[in-house]
């Protein structure tokens, strides 16, 4: 048997956690190798998650604009039609540009790439089984687990990849379903529900809780629910799904989603979007004794160390929100710590964004959390409807809400529903990372006329001195 190939760092998984860690590690002078079973680099996010969904959200939004709102701008278009094949080709092309980009970055940073399934086999040892069955043994000073997450399933619900599907298949349909039942009103359910609703499907979202977007500020979530209903999405909240049955043959198949104590909801397709779970299977964790926590995640300390020497884990595999930007920060900080630097991830300030229309974004504590924690706070709210730029672009739904400590004025949470909320939240994240007060934001120049002035006005509103309302 050939001697194992030696690297400083071997990373299993080339998603946003793994590939960013690889690049940062290479920048710091490590000899880095990445093991990835998919030909395309970039993981779930680039191949079948964040990026393709944003491509389809954009295309479907433009189609809807052309049909419904361009007339307000005096732009008259007749006979608007959606060419789904072209949208899907564009989606695939956007994905390819991104995954090819990672390949380029790997070459640029001299990162070795192994195609195949990676598995821990012993002391800092990883075996790679290539698609042709050949096995390459690797050893490294540091082994990083970055395999991300997989779709969580539901008792009584079997995915068949055709009628009852996960987000992966729902991104690639070549025809618009007449009706779609989405199970789960989280990020995926609302984003993909929006895409297919805009393209003409009748969409019903079935959610276990009595609200949508759990974890987000409940006032913002209520406003979002109202807007989504206006857009034509239907909701069954507080609904416990007990099973899904598929009847009929071939193209005539339909699925019936059974709900405890209610009439079932029937659809041509069912999208199951009830969360994701850490992708720990097949990694050899049991063989080498890597411990999991009580929620099935890889247990790590603040240096991302598992209980096995030389083995680390980052991203969706460990604690914290399952978000690409959080995984990226984990990867960067791990590599910097391995290089002796003292960087840290600010877990309390990971922003969350739903890329619906309007977008919904938040950072820090929700009003619900402050109330529950008995924290005295002041609240500033400002609506986009009172902002000149929002009126000019014709996107006036939503508002910015800033929550600040009643005594110190330190910003504790910012919650935005409105146009470009996902971009606007960046200012709040930066301000909070620097420990800003609402007064700091209020005293900061915001160019006129921009949507960002709504953030400034909300900061002024904390002190009851917003100008334009
Ligand atoms: P999620 O956790 O965002 O939402 C799942 C929803 O399903 C929740 O509202 C939950 O209450 C509901 N649910 C759970 N069990 C249910 C049941 N039995 N019946 C009905 N509803 C039930 O999960 P997701 O939308 O599947 O997304 C998966 C992961 O991907 C998340 O961790 C998310 O952070 C990430 N993601 C993020 C983005 C983004 O940042 N924009 C987009 C897509 C996915």
333 pocket-lining for ligand 1 (C-beta < 6 Å): no
**14 alpha carbon – ligand 1 mean position (Å):** 22
In the numeric block, which tokens belong to residue 172?
């690639």
Q: In the prediction, which pLDDT does 413 show? A: 99
Question: Above 90 in pLDDT, residue 13?
Answer: yes
**Residues in Cβ contact with 394 at an 8 Å cutoff, skipping those fewer than 6 apart:** 69, 72, 73
Domains and CATH numbers, the chain: 5-150+278-347 (3.50.50.60), 164-274 (3.50.50.60), 358-462 (3.30.390.30)
DSSP string, 79-128: S----HHHHHHHHHHHHHHHHHHHHHHHHHTT-EEEESEEEEEETTEEEE
Q: Does residue 33 sit in helix, strand or coil?
A: strand
Question: Above 90 in pLDDT, residue 262?
Answer: yes
Q: In the prediction, which pLDDT does 235 show? A: 98
Confidence band, pLDDT 50/70/90 cuts, at residue 378: very high
Half-sphere exposure of 137 (CA within 13 A, CB side): 9
Confidence band, pLDDT 50/70/90 cuts, at residue 397: very high
User: Measured between alpha carbons, how far is 6 from 3 in angstroms, rounded to an integer?
Assistant: 9
Task: Give the mean model confidence (pLDDT) for residues 200-210.
Answer: 98
User: Measured between alpha carbons, how far is 312 from 301 in angstroms, rounded to an integer?
Assistant: 9
> What phi-psi label fits residue 304: left (phi over 0), alpha (psi between -120 and 50 degrees) or beta?
left
User: Can you say whether the dihedral through the CA atoms of 440, 446, 452, 454 is positive or negative?
Assistant: positive
**150 alpha carbon – ligand 1 mean position (Å):** 12
Q: What is the pTM of this model?
A: 0.97
Q: For 54-73, what is each residue's pLDDT tens digit?
A: 999 999 999 999 999 999 99
Q: In the prediction, which pLDDT does 250 show? A: 86
Q: Whose CA is nearest to atom 34 of ligand 1?
A: 322
Task: Give the mean model confidence (pLDDT) for residues 263-282.
Answer: 98
Confidence band, pLDDT 50/70/90 cuts, at residue 251: confident
User: Measured between alpha carbons, how far is 35 from 10 in angstroms, rounded to an integer?
Assistant: 7
User: Measured between alpha carbons, how far is 390 from 419 in angstroms, rounded to an integer?
Assistant: 8
How does strand 269-272 pair with strand 179-183? parallel
350 pocket-lining for ligand 1 (C-beta < 6 Å): no
- With 0-12 / 13-18 / 19 or more C-beta atoms within 10 angstroms meaning exposed / middle / buried, residue 124 is buried
Write down the catalytic residue from 73, 346, 448, 468.
448
Confidence band, pLDDT 50/70/90 cuts, at residue 324: very high
Q: Which ligand 1 atom minimizes the distance to the CA of 155?
A: 18
**305 alpha carbon – ligand 1 mean position (Å):** 28
Question: Above 80 in pLDDT, residue 332?
Answer: yes
User: Measured between alpha carbons, how far is 324 from 43 in angstroms, rounded to an integer?
Assistant: 10
Neighbour tally for 237: CB within 10 Å: 14
Q: In the prediction, which pLDDT does 275 show? A: 97
**Secondary structure of 399-456 in HEC code, one letter for each residue:** EEEEEEECCCCEEEEEEEEECCHHHHHHHHHHHHHCCCEHHHHHCCCCCCCCCCHHHH
170 pocket-lining for ligand 1 (C-beta < 6 Å): no
151 pocket-lining for ligand 1 (C-beta < 6 Å): no
Neighbour tally for 130: CB within 10 Å: 13
Q: Does residue 271 sit in helix, strand or coil?
A: strand
Q: Whose CA is nearest to atom 5 of ligand 1?
A: 274
Q: In the prediction, which pLDDT does 273 show? A: 98
Question: Above 80 in pLDDT, residue 1?
Answer: no
In the numeric block, which tokens belong to residue 212?
């949508």
Average pLDDT of the chain is 97
266 pocket-lining for ligand 1 (C-beta < 6 Å): no
DSSP string, 288-323: HTPPB-TTSSBP--TT-B-SSTTEEE-GGGSSS---
Q: For 92-139, what is each residue's pLDDT tens digit?
A: 999 999 999 999 999 999 999 999 999 999 989 999 999 999 999 999
142 is catalytic: no
186 pocket-lining for ligand 1 (C-beta < 6 Å): yes
The closest of 312, 314, 306, 313 to 289, measured between CA atoms, is 306
Question: Above 80 in pLDDT, residue 278?
Answer: yes
């Amino acid at each position: 048997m050939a001697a194992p190939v030696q690297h400083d760092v071997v990373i299993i998984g080339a998603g946003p956690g793994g590939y960013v860690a690889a690049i940062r590690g290479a920048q710091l002078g490590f000899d880095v190798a990445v093991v990835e079973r998919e030909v395309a680099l970039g993981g779930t996010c680039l191949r079948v998650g964040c990026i393709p969904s944003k491509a389809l959200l954009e295309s479907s939004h433009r189609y809807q604009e052309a049909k419904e709102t361009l007339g307000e701008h005096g732009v008259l278009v007749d006979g608007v039609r959606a060419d789904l094949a072209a949208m899907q080709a564009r989606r695939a092309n956007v994905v390819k540009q991104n995954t090819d980009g990672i390949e380029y970055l790997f070459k640029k940073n001299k990162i070795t790439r192994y195609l195949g399934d990676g598995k821990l086999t012993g002391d800092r040892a990883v075996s790679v089984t290539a698609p042709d069955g050949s096995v390459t043994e690797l050893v490294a000073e540091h082994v990083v687990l970055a395999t991300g997450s997989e779709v969580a399933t539901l008792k009584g619900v079997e995915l068949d990849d055709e009628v009852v599907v996960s987000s992966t298949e729902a991104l690639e349909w070549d025809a618009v379903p007449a009706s779609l039942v989405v199970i789960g009103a989280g990020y995926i359910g609302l984003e993909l529900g929006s895409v297919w609703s805009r393209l003409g499907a009748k969409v019903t979202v079935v959610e276990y809780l009595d609200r949508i977007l759990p974890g987000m500020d409940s006032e913002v979530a209520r406003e979002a629910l109202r807007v989504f209903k206006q857009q034509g999405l239907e909701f069954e909240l507080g609904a416990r799904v007990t099973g899904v049955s598929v009847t009929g043959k071939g193209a005539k198949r339909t699925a019936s989603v059974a709900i405890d104590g209610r009439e079932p909801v029937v659809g041509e397709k069912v999208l199951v979007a009830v969360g994701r779970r850490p992708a720990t299977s097949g990694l050899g964790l049991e063989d080498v004794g890597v411990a999991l926590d009580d929620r099935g995640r890889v247990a790590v300390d603040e240096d991302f160390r598992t209980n096995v020497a030389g083995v680390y884990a980052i991203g969706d595999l460990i604690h914290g929100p399952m978000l690409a930007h959080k995984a990226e920060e984990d990867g960067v900080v791990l590599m910097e710590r391995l290089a002796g630097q003292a960087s840290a991830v600010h877990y309390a300030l990971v922003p969350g964004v739903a890329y619906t229309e309007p977008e919904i974004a938040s950072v820090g504590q929700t009003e619900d959390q402050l109330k529950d924690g008995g924290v005295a706070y002041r609240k500033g709210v400002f609506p986009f409807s009172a902002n000149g730029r929002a009126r000019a672009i014709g996107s006036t739904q939503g508002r910015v809400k800033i929550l600040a400590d009643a005594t110190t004025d330190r910003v504790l949470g910012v919650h935005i529903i409105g146009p470009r909320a996902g971009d606007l939240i960046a200012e709040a994240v930066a301000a909070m990372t620097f420990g800003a007060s609402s007064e700091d934001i209020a005293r900061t120049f915001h160019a006129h006329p921009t949507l960002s002035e709504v953030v400034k006005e909300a900061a002024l509103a904390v002190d009851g001195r917003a100008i334009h309302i």
